[in-house]
Structure 1
Amino acid sequence: MLVVNRFVVAEEAADGFTERAHAALAALAARPGYRSGQLVRGLDDPTAWCLVTDWESVGTYRRALGAFDVKVHATPLLAESLDEPSAFEPLATAEPGGEVSVRASDRSVGPGR
């Protein structure tokens, strides 16, 4: 599961934001189920930032959010992210030079399915 939290950060606030984002990323990285993460900034717009993390499953991500260190270091930062969908399930992947691998969605098709 990929989690993408987008932020708009004024250039004069970037230093404080990156310090808090590093602490959030470290807290998340310490949780079971965490695969990888990055703090990235827009090349064309220096006020556009993303915290991108990859998780084994929705469950491991949700359990991570309940951890004390995550509540202290990550939750306040994540609350400042743009109010938009942030959790995504991979439906197709490809390694460098490899074939595209397609997988079915874990989402139910509708009620009772």
Structure 2
Amino acid sequence: MITFINRFTVHGPAEEFERAFDESSHFFTAQPGFVRHRLMRHHEDPTAYANLAEWEDEESFLNAVRHPEFAAHRAALQALATSDPNLYTPLYERTATT
């Protein structure tokens, strides 16, 4: 499992960014190795977003972002926001106990 975390600072209209992200999301959900993702907006700063995505492995993620169809999605997001993308290897996870 690999985790992709991308922090965005939106400089365009938030609604347009969210729409462009949703279109990108549809692209990723159809890619081999994609597990799930979550887009979050900062509680106090409406221009700050974070995407947390889980992939089966790094190769699947890299194949998806190198896919020719992704270029248009990347361009649409870059027109509306700057980003700080990074891959992380999960170390451990805890859940609430009852």
Q: Same fold (TM over 0.5)?
A: yes
Matching of residue 5 in structure 1 with residue 6 in structure 2: yes
Question: Distance between the aligned counterparts of 1:33 and 1:78, measured in 2?
Answer: 24
Deviation at 1:6, TM superposition (A): 0.8
2:83 paired residue number: 82
Identity over aligned pairs, percent: 26
Greater strand fraction, Structure 1 or Structure 2: 2
Larger RCO: Structure 1 or Structure 2 (Cα < 8 Å, ≥ 6 residues apart)? 2
Q: Secondary structure at the match of 1:5?
A: strand
Matched pairs, number: 95
Unaligned runs of 5+ in 2: none
Unaligned runs of 5+ in 1: 99-113
2:43 paired residue number: 43
Q: What RMSD in Å do the two structures reach over aligned CA positions?
A: 2.2
1:29 paired residue number: 29
1:53 paired residue number: 53
Question: Distance between the aligned counterparts of 1:53 and 1:69, measured in 2?
Answer: 19
Paired AA for residue 5 in structure 2: V
The question of whether the paired residues in 2 share the 8 Å contact of 1:5 and 1:81 is answered with no
Deviation at 1:78, TM superposition (A): 6.0
TM-score normalised over the length of structure 2:
0.81
Q: Secondary structure at the match of 1:6?
A: strand
The question of whether the paired residues in 2 share the 8 Å contact of 1:2 and 1:87 is answered with yes
TM-score normalised over the length of structure 1:
0.72
Choose 1 or 2 for highest CA Rg: 1
Deviation at 1:81, TM superposition (A): 3.6
